[in-house]
Amino acid sequence: MRYINKLRHYGIFIVFLAICINLSLISPQFLTISNWTIIITQVSINALLAFGVTFVIITGGIDLSLGSIVAVSGVTAAMLAHPNTYPLIVPILAALFAGLLIGAFNGFMITKSKIAPFIVTLGTMTIGRGLALILSDGRPVSNLSDSFVFIGSGKLLGLPILILILVIMFIICSVILNKTTLGRYIYALGGNEQAARASGIMVTRVKMMVYSISGVLAGLAGILLTSRITTGQPNAGAGFELDAIAAVVIGGTSTSGGKGSIGGTMIGVLLIGVINNSLDLLNVSSYYQQVVMGLIIIGAVVLDSLNQKSNY
Amino acid sequence: MVMKNTFLNFLVGVLLLSACNPSANEKQKNPDRIRIGVSMLSMQNEFIVNISDEMQIKAEELGVELIMVDAERSPLKQIEQVESFIAQKVDAIILNPCEFEASSPAVTKALDANIPIVNVNSATKIQPVSFVGSDDVESGRIAMKYISEKLGGKGNIVMIQGLNGQAAQIQREQGAKEIMEQNPGLKMIAQQTAEWDRSKSMDLMQNWIQSYGTKINAVFAHNDEMGLGAVKALQDAGMKDRVIVVSIDAIADALVSVKKGELDATVFQDAKKQGAGAIDAAVKIAKGQKSEKEILIPFKLLTKVDVDAYLK
């Protein structure tokens, strides 16, 4: 019986495996190393955003400004990454700082003004998009240095750098959430904010931290996207926040807070990536791709709520 | 109490800001000057921004006043903007329509109010007084003709489409298919949308390379952003030398890429002539002179040999 319960706990992982097995039977290209390298590279940007918003959603919040942060940090990085200007570290730090700034602003407004995170981040989503357009004058910023472009298309130790960054961030985020005091506070806060406050947790500080983490990761995603497509685009990242939130939800994080994991989010991200990839391999029309994706999102939440009930 | 003060400050700030809004200074305008209301599709699109820049230059040259607004891709917003132009009693309206059908009521309203209206860049179902733009079907024909010549009338083609349902996507596809019907040796092995987006196009092309590999002889992308994404994916896979890539718009990045011998060709759409032409037509009509019903600006295919003159 305990075994069955455990199986249920890994519901989405089993669904993911089943889909992969099926796909490898239908499409001979699916289960090749080169195809998986492509899938993981393609999901790396969404993964970073999804990791960040996992922290936020576990505290019971939401972050809709991710896509705009990607644009601001991408444009910022591109403007500082022209050949023979600044060393590589300058555009990278500036873009991460831009992400941190917007994330911290989100956290500040949410904790100080008591406005709902949905509203605050909706506001910064619009502000961020405007900033990206102002910075770039409405045009893509091109002509990037080779070293900057190398981040998005180069390899280290035989692996694409995008994948290496993804693995490192996965480990860091998992450790923060599972092994640190901050991680424990994040879960406590999402489980019951009043109780968390009563037990002496600095709620304000924890919230500031999660939105800042989310902002920095989105800043990093902006750098990777800009480097990958070799241009900083002010309209990049529109709608990215929804893909990220979808991945988090598919991965079993509860939107009411208190429950979730980076591992689950990673499965959610991979599931979305695998579906997109295989429907392209099979040349399925994009109209159907969207329907399939929507069904998976709803299915994942239904699975999750069944799980919840069975626990009582 | 501190809270309250912050909010008061905020409110005062907002009031101050709205006081310096340009519309408040409208009284200063010269009553004899011709005033033209302009509603643009989206100021987040590089090509549209180029057209609007050319309009500003031409307007300054002719000494007319432009009231330029951004419809942000919303036909509803566009109709409201035209209504406000009518209320302001402008001398003429220039419309850069968001959609073929849904922006038509804007044209009807202007005509009913006896204000001359000129469409620029794309068409509406209801005929305006004058249309200045290019025939998108022709651009698709030009691109596919080039591919056909390069392949000797025989080969496998993949097509990366714009956002499904938009006039530019439909017409560019139509033009390309016309040429393919005349050349039965050309085969479309896959087609899919990448929503005008460079990174989505790169993902799509990577997936196609997995499933079709060396079978792909040529790529037709509905805009340069997507063409450049396909080029990047082909380069990463070491296949660019074997595959022809052609796209449309001749944006700055595409010209550089053609010059480098990466993108094989781009179809030049003349933002300068469209923007300046629209102002010319609107001013003429506002002064009671005749303007042609349809002013078509021709496209031009640009390859490595003739790209130099277009590079800024």
Per residue of chain B (312 residues), give pLDDT as tens: 344 455 555 555 555 454 444 444 443 455 678 999 999 998 888 889 999 999 999 999 999 999 999 998 888 899 999 999 998 999 999 999 988 888 899 999 999 999 999 999 988 889 999 999 988 899 999 999 999 999 999 999 999 999 887 778 999 999 999 999 999 999 999 999 998 899 999 999 999 999 898 999 999 999 999 999 999 999 999 999 999 999 999 988 999 999 999 999 999 989 999 999 999 999 999 999 988 899 999 999 999 998 998 887
Residues of A in contact with B43 (CB under 8 A): 133, 138
In a domain, A210, yes or no: yes
Q: Pick from A35, A38, A140: which is nearest to B253 by CB? A: A140
Q: Is B160 left (phi over 0), alpha (psi -120 to 50) or beta?
A: beta
Residues of A in contact with B208 (CB under 8 A): 280
In a domain, A126, yes or no: yes
Average pLDDT of chain A to the nearest whole number? 90
d(Cα B190, Cα A82) in Å, to the nearest integer?
36
A234 close contact with B: CB closer than 8 A: yes
CB-based contact B210 A34, cutoff 8 Å: yes
Give the model's pLDDT for residue B93: 97
Give the model's pLDDT for residue A309: 63
Nearest CA of chain A to the CA of B190: how many Å? 7
Q: Which of A185, A183, A186 is nearest to A174 (CA)?
A: A183
Q: Does domain B136-268 have CATH number 3.60.15.10?
A: no
Encode pLDDT of A127-179 as tens digits: 999 999 999 988 889 889 999 999 998 888 888 999 999 999 999 999 999 99
Residues of B in contact with A139 (CB under 8 A): 46, 49, 252
Q: What is the mean pLDDT of residues A253-279?
A: 90
CA distances, B264 to each of A144, B137, B146, B242, B256 (Å): 21, 20, 10, 11, 11
A233 close contact with B: CB closer than 8 A: yes
Residues of B with CB under 8 A from a CB of A: 3, 6, 43-46, 49, 164, 190, 192-193, 198-199, 202-204, 206-208, 210-211, 228-229, 232, 236, 251-253, 256
Encode pLDDT of A79-130 as tens digits: 999 999 999 999 999 999 999 999 999 999 999 988 999 999 999 999 999 9
Q: Which of A143, A159, A219 is nearest to B260 (CA)?
A: A143
In a domain, A134, yes or no: yes
Q: Give the H or E element holding residue A191.
A: helix A181-191
Residue B154 φ then ψ, to 5°:
-145, 130
Inform me whether the pLDDT recorded for A65 exceeds 80: yes
In a domain, A33, yes or no: no
Give the model's pLDDT for residue B248: 95
Domain of A96, CATH number, reads 1.10.3470.10
Q: Work out the percent of chain A whose per-residue pLDDT is above 90.
A: 61
Encode pLDDT of A31-41 as tens digits: 888 889 989 99
Q: Which two tokens stand for residue B30?
A: 């010269």
Place of tokens 């500040």: A108
In a domain, A312, yes or no: no
pTM, 2 dp: 0.81
CB-based contact A235 B44, cutoff 8 Å: yes
Give the model's pLDDT for residue A254: 85
Mutate to test the interface with B, among A283, A287, A288, A291 (most CBs of B within 10 A): A283
Total CB pairs under 8 A between chain A and B:
76
Residue B267 φ then ψ, to 5°:
-100, 120
* Per-residue exposure over A94-110, b if at least 16 CB sit within 10 Å of its own CB, e if not: bbbebbbbbbbbbbbbb
Give the model's pLDDT for residue A312: 46
Inform me whether the pLDDT recorded for A300 exceeds 80: no
Find the domain containing A68 and state its range: 41-237
Q: Pick from A138, A229, A277: which is nearest to B198 by CB? A: A229
DSSP reduced 3-state for B134? coil
Inform me whether the pLDDT recorded for A287 exceeds 50: yes
A29 close contact with B: CB closer than 8 A: yes
Inform me whether the pLDDT recorded for A280 exceeds 90: no
CA distances, B140 to each of A97, A295, A307, B170 (Å): 43, 35, 52, 10
Span(s) in chain B for CATH 3.40.50.2300: 32-134+271-297, 136-268
Residues of B in contact with A287 (CB under 8 A): 164
Residues 6+ apart with CB under 8 A from B39: B69, B70, B71, B78, B81, B82, B85, B93, B94, B95, B96, B106
In a domain, A298, yes or no: no
d(Cα B120, Cα B122) in Å, to the nearest integer?
6
CB-based contact A142 B253, cutoff 8 Å: yes
Inform me whether the pLDDT recorded for A196 exceeds 50: yes
d(Cα B6, Cα B226) in Å, to the nearest integer?
47
Inform me whether the pLDDT recorded for A283 exceeds 80: no
Domain count, chain A: 1
Give the model's pLDDT for residue A9: 58
Continuous H helices in chain B: 2-19, 46-62, 75-87, 104-112, 136-151, 167-182, 198-212, 224-236, 252-259, 271-286
d(Cα A187, Cα A266) in Å, to the nearest integer?
18
Residues of B in contact with A286 (CB under 8 A): 164, 192-193
A104 close contact with B: CB closer than 8 A: no
Residues of A in contact with B229 (CB under 8 A): 229
Residues of B in contact with A282 (CB under 8 A): 211
A42 close contact with B: CB closer than 8 A: yes
CB-based contact B164 A276, cutoff 8 Å: no
Quote the strand ranges of chain A, DSSP E.
155-156, 159-160
DSSP reduced 3-state for B299? coil
CB-based contact B203 A138, cutoff 8 Å: no
Give the model's pLDDT for residue B287: 92
Strands B265-268 and B300-302: antiparallel
CA distances, B174 to each of B168, B169, B170, B178, B283 (Å): 10, 8, 6, 6, 34
In a domain, A10, yes or no: no
Residue ranges of A 122-161 with Cβ closer than 8 A to chain B: 133, 138-140, 142-143, 153
B155-161 β-sheet, strand order:
B186-193, B155-161, B218-221, B244-249, B265-268, B300-302
Give residue A311's pLDDT band: very low, low, confident or very high (50, 70, 90). low
Give the model's pLDDT for residue B30: 58
Residues of B in contact with A242 (CB under 8 A): none
Longest dimension (CA), chain B: 78
Q: What is the CATH number of domain B32-134+271-297?
A: 3.40.50.2300
CA distances, B286 to each of B93, B182, B289 (Å): 9, 45, 7
The answer to whether B167 touches B123, Cβ cutoff 8 Å, is: yes
Give the model's pLDDT for residue A16: 87
Nearest CA of chain B to the CA of A109: how many Å? 12
Give the model's pLDDT for residue A310: 59
CB-based contact B193 A140, cutoff 8 Å: no
Q: Which two tokens stand for residue A100?
A: 């941190």
In a domain, A31, yes or no: no
**CB atoms inside a 10 Å sphere around CB A115:** 13
A285 close contact with B: CB closer than 8 A: yes
d(Cα B307, Cα B250) in Å, to the nearest integer?
9
Give the model's pLDDT for residue B23: 44
Give the model's pLDDT for residue B22: 45
What residue of B is the nearest CA neighbor of A113? B3
What residue of B is the nearest CA neighbor of A38? B206
Q: What is the mean pLDDT of residues A249-277?
A: 90
